[in-house]
Structure 1
């Protein structure tokens, strides 16, 4: 822990422990600014993932601009091949009233699903959408640590697709691609390693074409 962080009430390890046990933690009255909060995230997370459609504020933080519509329950970047284990939100200026974020215990949801639905979601679903060229270039550049996204071409895209299983692409108009990703809707890769109904079925598509979901039988 560096000197700048010693003024805060919660250490990175305390935050991690609470995330494992409860799944969430609220840091209230800690007097963070964007840079201090970004530094905290760097100490908690070994690797950072990004949304290519969002604007970076710092190297560790992105601006969330997803319109004014209410969002369905979802995991962050849940229709991408690299969804994060931990997602953190920092409010530089909080709303005086009416601003809420819903927390959902995916493990409890899974426990209460009837057996028929547990079986229905037991196999991965396919998420399909069109990605324009600039979007897949930026995503691959971030994933492969390439500074200039314009330099990313079909060779780098093919390499990225081969790196992570369950991805497929087909050529589409304007050098975009039709992108298919097979993802589990019941996840076990949370910090506590318990089954959880955690996915993006109800989630937003503010910066992207709306995705389509297919069960394993093609329906």
Structure 2
């Protein structure tokens, strides 16, 4: 029998291991039955290592995607585990790869060493965020798509697609994707624009969710409306106010594992200054996903 408690005020849940329970013995179907309505599952007291996270996530996943900015620490199976080591600053609400057509279903994190202070992972329910935005802002995002602009050096896309990937392979991968326009430059870097809705339907409940990377990319001025116009300041302020109100916190303990529905929940991080902090990640598509 698993001990299960609510995590914060959202639908998220904590699952506690007891008597040195082996994470890999948990029923995949039972976990999915909890995950689908909850959207965030925190597994605590299982003593999860990065290798165990890879093995556990493989049970649920058909394939994995990489984050080019992160170092790979385990690729011994079909999955990839990476060290989340890009800086120590605050990270605003975002969904993984939501600014591209390669958005995974699940974000996995496990904690090797928590920061001595701060460094918590934050999360926000995009369904609740959508419900709490004003009718005016909801209508704005239903009527206008958003556009992300990216520049990928050759080294970045070779990490993402694989070191043996050719320009022809990249063209085949991008040509038929909805919302994608791109230009391959002489140095083999890629300029890409990705147009999509800021509002998505959740994978399991088919609800509207304001689950995107607007606040994350807005600070770098790499996201706009489809017509190229910037977001009004008052719209950004309203989104930030709603997110501040809905923010939930994961206060890491060593050996924790978290499983996040990337179609519904946004995540981020508080700033920290402890160089010993170690949090690992994996990004995957669930079995049965296209």
Give TM-score scaled by structure 2 length: 0.64
Comparing 123-132 and 62-71, the one that deviates more: 123-132
- Poorly superposed stretches of 4+, deviation over 4 Å: none
| 1:204 to 1:13, Cα distance in 2 relative to 1, 3 A | farther
Structure 2 runs not aligned, ≥5 long: 1-19, 230-290
| 1:47 to 1:88, Cα distance in 2 relative to 1, 3 A | same
Residue matched to 1:212: 222
CA distance in 2: counterparts of 1:17 and 1:211, whole angstroms: 39
| Larger fraction in strand | 2
Asked whether 1:23 is paired with 2:29, we answer no
CA drift at 1:10: 4.4
Q: Is the 8 A contact 2:70 2:86 kept in 1?
A: no
Q: Which of 33, 45, 63 in structure 2 is aligned with 1:47?
A: 63
CA drift at 1:211: 5.6
Give TM-score scaled by structure 1 length: 0.83
| 1:211 to 1:55, Cα distance in 2 relative to 1, 3 A | farther
CA distance in 2: counterparts of 1:97 and 1:192, whole angstroms: 36
CA distance in 2: counterparts of 1:47 and 1:18, whole angstroms: 21
Residue matched to 2:151: 130
Residue matched to 1:7: 22
CA drift at 1:111: 0.7
Aligned residue-pair number: 204
CA drift at 1:48: 1.4
Structure 1 runs not aligned, ≥5 long: 142-148
Residue matched to 2:91: 71
Structure number with the bigger relative contact order (C-alpha 8 A, sep ≥ 6) is 2
CA distance in 2: counterparts of 1:19 and 1:30, whole angstroms: 17
1:1-219 matches, cutoff 5 A:
7-8=22-23, 10-59=26-75, 60=79, 61-122=81-142, 123-141=144-162, 149=163, 151-172=164-185, 174-203=187-216, 210=220, 212-219=222-229
